Structure 1
Amino acid sequence: MTPMPENKSERIAALADQCVQCGLCLPACPTYALDGNEAESPRGRIAIAAALAKGLAPVTDELRTPLDHCLGCLNCERVCPAQVRFGELLVETRTLLGPAPGRPRMLLALAKRPALLRWTRLSGLRRWYAQLARWLPRRSRFRAALVLAASPTSSSLRPAHRETAPRAPALAHVALFPGCVGSVDDAAAQEAAVALLEAAGHPATRLPAFCCGALDAHGGDARAAEQGARRVQESWRGSGASVLVTVTPGCLGQLRHALPGVRVEDPCALLAAQADRLQFRPLPMRVALHLPCTQLNVARSDEALRVLLGRVPALEVVPLPPRCCGAAGSHLLEFPERAAALRAPTLDAIATLAPQALLSSNIGCRLHLAAGLAGQGIAVPTLHPLVLLAQQLIPGNPP
């Protein structure tokens, strides 16, 4: 592989030059499907990035907006015959441009502070969010944030079982990265991950909760993203673990960037490798499975998750069509109307299937979908797949 230049503009130009403009990415791009506009396609964004990096065009709202609209889903990377590293190009270009002027800084600052998020959950303010949201315009970012915060974050199923110690021969020591929003709204999934990993033979410990820098990296704030990466590195060095996991696939890319050479995985990958050590109680239930873009294109753990769910007797798993739900990190706050339009086909698919529960691994996707379902009056419990697996786990299985 040809080494990339050190200069940021030259690096962006070199990444862009790998694109052969074949157009095979267009059918895979959700924003191109939404707008039918070449500028809202990977090929169009690559051309814009190259022009900006080479100084062939000034930075204008017309050129910047398609870059800000990009979901970073990486569907284009999976189908690209030239193996263009579009995700890297997007982050580099946004860093070159800097944060968008209209970025909801206050809302994102709140999202990155687990202690403050936890306080808002425990203070009782949450019960007022839905009512407050009704008074705000539909385009309001604060309205979108309140609707998300009012979304249910736990299922009606019973709490996950937690084993007190590994019951199988010890494997690699695993550290769990809690993240920011996930550490509060996906606490049940993190408990479930630890229970399942220990049952499979992986000693597991938790790192402190903080933002890894993914929101900042994808928003063009290089300094804040680097600060998050340094905190990840410091926390990892003190963990004593050999593998890092997160239950939120949206954090994986940034964690891998912060810890080159360290194995960073979705817990499903480790659990599927030890699937024979795990036995589950039957669950006669029909569930819809939503696979987040980051699970498909970054973690690439979708098959591992299917293997694990397939071990639950009587469980009927119906995969939803693979399309981006529009959450995409901070996109659902920055562009709530676009996020809702991108979510609509997935909500329609859920309504048609009429499942008894909805499974999704990414907390942003799950809150976004839960808010949409609630808005349509559809009562479907939403939960992380690991929570369901831990609830059905039979403790003390022989290795």
Structure 2
Amino acid sequence: MTFMLDEKPPMRIAALADQCVQCGLCLPVCPTYALDRNEAESPRGRIAIAAALAKDQAEPSAALREHLDHCLGCLSCEKVCPAHVRYGELLVETRALLGPSPQRPSREIALIRAPARWRRWRRVLGRLGFARWKRGFAALLPASAPMRSALALWPATPQPPSSSAPATPETTTDVAAETVAIFPGCIASVEDADAQRAAATLLRAAGYRVVELPAFCCGAMDLHGGATADADRAAEQVRAAWCTAGANHLVTVTPGCVGTLRHALPDVSISDPATLLAPRADRLSFRSLQARVAVHLPCTQSNVTRSDAALLALLGRIPGLEITTLAKPPHCCGAAGTHVLEFPERAARLRDETLRQVATLAPQILLSSNIGCRLHLAAGMEQDGARWPHQHPLVLLAQQLEA
């Protein structure tokens, strides 16, 4: 199988690829290279593939495409690159050149990025007790079927309440206070509704005004899947919502959305709440909690928002809390947006290694900021029968916040 490329070689991809000096410092931090020890599964190898495709030196075969699609987009390579290669940009441009994969799980993606539809299904299937029999139903499907992977991610907990009406009142009387807009996202607006309420509570306690944008998909799954037209439409929706927000900053409780939001709004201050809370941490006081927590830092939090230090500093202000963190790259949980649906076996291998780390730390609570990572890890825990209570770290911070 082959894929059509533009007739004119895309010079931008070639220029981005030519920045790579082939030093190999990216290899030790690449999760997919750690899985296979295959040069084509490394950033250096993928840059070479992208350059060859861009310069018409290679035919865009299914085999070459698979190496590109295996990439998790974790950007650990970009963080350590001495030549400052913009690998994330190169990956997005190359996937856009190839277009969406014929194996792209469009039906499952459509469900995930439609929060109203997801909420309706959660309500209906919750009444039917779907969480109790989903494994038996999934076993009837082929092991590689995206729907089987999607069913594994189906939450075992009841549907959380909506975050559309933040529970805490406005606390600041400073007319000059900066306004923060919270972007709810798609599936996160349902499954991380408590984290969004927690973010509003913490930001207001720190002296910010808070508004909430409508819930919709930022376009990350389309942007990283080569579906350029759909990604562009999502970006337009983001820009329209931002223009009506009247805010100084845009935040999201899901680090996986930050890069795509920055792509849509390059001149806007976009981060996760921890970045804005950390400089005002002296305004926040927390109750003691004698507990041991393991903090899973999603790749996007470490490499895109780069807010891991801010988050750990905030958690460190809770008296009595014992904080341990999971190992850094080349470790990745394997969720990576739609990767868990498209390549479930590879995603499970990465997840199992992550859960082995969690077991070694033996926490009482597992914290992770990215809803995709948390659902993926929860599916692995359910499969292994080893469950740790898990939540967004902002929820824990808000629970311990003193009035």
Assess same fold via TM > 0.5: yes
- Unpaired runs of 5+ residues, structure 2, are 1-7, 161-165
Residue 129 of structure 1 and its aligned partner are, at CA, apart by 2.5
Query: SS of the residue aligned with 1:219?
Result: coil
Residue 379 of structure 1 and its aligned partner are, at CA, apart by 1.8
CA distance in 2, matches of 1:309, 1:385: 8
2:264 paired residue number? 258
Q: What residue identity is the alignment partner of 1:36? A: R
**Contact 1:186/1:363, CA 8 A, preserved across alignment:** yes
**Contact 1:12/1:53, CA 8 A, preserved across alignment:** yes
CA distance in 1, matches of 2:29, 2:10: 27
TM-score normalised to structure 1 length: 0.93
Check 1:227–1:196 CA distance in 2 against 1; reply closer, same or farther (3 A cut): same
- Residue of structure 1 aligned with 2:364, choices 335, 356, 359: 356
CA distance in 1, matches of 2:216, 2:251: 14
Identical-residue share of aligned pairs (%): 61
Q: Kindly report the root-mean-square deviation, in angstroms, between the aligned alpha carbons of the 2 structures.
A: 1.6
Query: SS of the residue aligned with 1:368?
Result: helix
1:388 paired residue number? 396
2:327 paired residue number? 321
1:288 paired residue number? 294
Residues 1:103 and 2:104 are matched in the alignment: yes
Residues 1:45 and 2:50 are matched in the alignment: no
1:3 paired residue number? none
**Contact 1:163/1:199, CA 8 A, preserved across alignment:** no
Q: What residue identity is the alignment partner of 2:72? A: L
Residue 373 of structure 1 and its aligned partner are, at CA, apart by 1.0
1:241 paired residue number? 247
1:147 paired residue number? 152
Residue 151 of structure 1 and its aligned partner are, at CA, apart by 4.3
Residues 1:209 and 2:210 are matched in the alignment: no
CA distance in 2, matches of 1:154, 1:15: 44
- Residue of structure 2 aligned with 1:303, choices 309, 318, 324: 309
* Between 12-21 and 54-63, the greater mean CA deviation after superposition: 54-63
Q: Render the CA deviation track for 1:346-382: whole Å, top value 9, x for unaligned.
A: 1101112221110000000011011111111012111
Residues 1:268 and 2:279 are matched in the alignment: no
Check 1:307–1:97 CA distance in 2 against 1; reply closer, same or farther (3 A cut): same
Check 1:32–1:218 CA distance in 2 against 1; reply closer, same or farther (3 A cut): same
CA distance in 2, matches of 1:132, 1:186: 26
CA distance in 2, matches of 1:152, 1:32: 35
**Contact 2:155/2:375, CA 8 A, preserved across alignment:** no
CA distance in 2, matches of 1:288, 1:76: 24
TM-score normalised to structure 2 length: 0.93
Q: What residue identity is the alignment partner of 2:232? A: E
1:166 paired residue number? 171
Query: SS of the residue aligned with 1:150?
Result: coil
Residue 182 of structure 1 and its aligned partner are, at CA, apart by 0.5
Residue 138 of structure 1 and its aligned partner are, at CA, apart by 2.7
1:4 paired residue number? none
Q: Render the CA deviation track for 1:249-305: whole Å, top value 9, x for unaligned.
A: 000001011011110011001111110000011111111000000000000000000
- Runs of 4+ aligned structure 1 residues displaced above 3 Å come to 150-155, 167-170
CA distance in 1, matches of 2:375, 2:369: 11
Mapping for residues 82-161 of structure 1, pairs under 5 Å: 82-123=83-124, 124=126, 125=128, 126-127=130-131, 128-152=133-157
**Contact 1:152/1:367, CA 8 A, preserved across alignment:** no
CA distance in 2, matches of 1:186, 1:8: 42
